[in-house]
Structure 1
Amino acid sequence: MKYKLSFGIIIIFSFSVFAQMAKLDETKELKPLIQKIVQLQSENNKLKSEISSINSKVATVNQKLETLDQKVQSNASDIKKTNSELKGRIANSETTTNQKFTQVDNSLSKNSLWSIIGILGAIIVSGLVYWLVSKRQTNDKTIVEAQISKTKKTLEEEGIKLDTKLTEVLETQLKLVQEERAKVPANKSDEVDHSLALKVADEIVRINKNLSNMDANTKGLKQLSASVKRIEDNFAANGYDMPELLNKPFDPRMKMIANMVEDENLEKGIEIITKIIKPQVNYKGVQIQSAQVEVSVGQ
């Protein structure tokens, strides 16, 4: 009986030792992976800081564009005011001329010749003043438009530089995520963090919208377009996709937030998605973010 009890104790002790050794080996295997994850988190925080700085610069550029638009509206208002004043002067001149012609008809005499000459002189002077003012106004408008165009082009080129830098940062982040996921065992069921992917999706939509509004000859435009294409390819390689919704018919059954806007140019009953505020994002065929869109409704 004692031998059986001793044998049982030995077996239990052996299993305990074996379990402790297996746990120790597992800890040694996970330690490099944990260190790599800590390193990637540090790099990710640094990249997030760069993205925040770039977004701040982009916001500054957008604010400058808004200020520029306000100046354009102010100049247009001044030009309109000048036209109104000039038309008033011409109207007064025409009234004066008509009155003098009436006086000539009522009492035509030799002395009236000087009145006729004076009237003709007034007409000539009025025409000359109108021509000079119009010419100066046209020149001023041309100069202002040229300055606005030059400033807008400069701001667009600066925006392209910032967006190109942003795409490089996002592309680096996507590659790091792709490499990290490749190291995780296939049977590991940890929840996937989609925060970076959703940020990338929003930036892709914003940049593509800006590109569609720029002149094709803008400096740096082709380089930025190529960078966005690489990000979209990398985005897809990580299992994400964004369905094309712009200019598509709207269906109330779609899982999205829709802002309805009346459009008199559309036939009654027609509903078209005309603006993407936030894109729909799918991961491996499953929707992880609903789209927010603007829908034009025919009246």
Structure 2
Amino acid sequence: MKKIQLKVAIFFLCLLSTIGYSQTQNALKDKSKIEKLEIRIDSVSSSIADITKTMQAEFKNLSENQVAIKNQFQSLTNKLNSLSTEQNTLKDIMTDLNQKTDKEITSIKKDTLTKFLVVSLSILFTLLIIIVIIVVFQKKFKKVNVVEESIKIDAKVSEMLENQLVLLKKEAVGKKLPETEIDHSLPVSVGNEIFRMRKRIKHMDENTKGIHALKNALTRLEDEFNRQGYTIKDLTGQSYVDELTVKITNTIRRDDLEPGEEIISRMITPQIFHNGVAVSHGEAELSISSKNMKQP
């Protein structure tokens, strides 16, 4: 029994030893793990401390930079305000200068315009005088040229009309038409031209170039005109009576005529006769006495 108890006791001791050893080993293992964890914790804490220091340093730098930026921003704001003030001042100066400049320019413009007008008027007046002088001289020279050219034209017209009358005469050869059927339109036109040219020649200088050639051409034309039985009658200066068939186109009153007196003062176109028969009654201007209008 004692042996059994002893064995049991030994068994329990062995069991307890084994359990204790196991616990001891486990404890040692746990201690080793704890030490490793402590080492890692120390390492992490050291890293955290380093990071914290770095962050504090960076934050300090950022704070210092922020202050510097703030100061720089304030400095720039002050400069901007100063520039804005200077700009306003410059605007005021520019406004004053513009107003003064506008006034000066207006004054200069007025003076310039006045001077320009005076000079322009002077130039225009001078040019006008020069033009008048030139025109006067040109008229004198041109008048001679115009008269000479008109004489040449009239001479050519006279020759042409003479040829037309000759052709008309040739066409009428062998034709014995009654007076009422004869066409007098061309001879009437010729008679009017002869009358017009004769009146012009009366007012021309005998020394005018070409006037003698015109007279000769006109004489030849009138001779041919007369040979064909046509004559021209000028009633200028004659007393007007109702029997006259001339057409009165205008009437004027004159103080130098006696009451009731009527005179043909001007023939506009002459009377033209063919073999004693009027083929154109002509047109005239009649002068009557203004005394007819006065009360007795």
> TM-score scaled to structure 1, two decimals?
0.49
If asked which structure has higher relative contact order (CA below 8 Å, sep 6+), I would say 1
> TM-score scaled to structure 2, two decimals?
0.49
